[in-house]
Amino acid sequence: MMKNIVMLIGGDHSSFAIYNALKNDNNIVKIIMDGPMNKKAFLKRRIKRLGLFKVIGQVIFQVTIPRFLRLVSRRRIQNIINDYGINLGTIESFIK
């Protein structure tokens, strides 16, 4: 029995991989792509809630660490994609 699924996605490669893994065995009724957040408003709210120095630390972390991890894990990610036959094809025609 096929299940009806509504997907809320961010529009990155992991969203495409999940869609392509689910589409054959499930009925994907609708896909909603969540747009990017207003970074300035987000940072203002975060500073108000957590404080300036804590947010500065978080921003520095998010600017440096993910870039480093992307560089050192690129080969491993490609191996996983190849080993498991993950389809990263886009789903543009289905997005409403």
> With 90 as the cut, is the pLDDT of residue 11 above it?
no
- Predicted structure pTM score: 0.68
Residue 66 has pLDDT above 90, yes or no: yes
Position 41: which residue type? A
- pLDDT value at residue 91: 77
Q: How far from chain centre, in Å, is Cα 47?
A: 24
Concatenated DSSP letters of 29-65: EEEEEPPPP-HHHHHHHHHHHH-HHHHHHHHHHHHHH
Question: In the chain, what percentage of residues exceed pLDDT 70?
Answer: 95
- Total tally of structural domains belonging to the chain: 1
Q: Which domain holds residue 28?
A: 4-94
DSSP secondary structure letter of residue 87: -
C-beta of residue 14 within 8 angstroms of C-beta of residue 88 = no
pLDDT digits (tens, 9 = 90+) for 26-59: 999 999 988 888 999 999 999 999 999 999 999 9
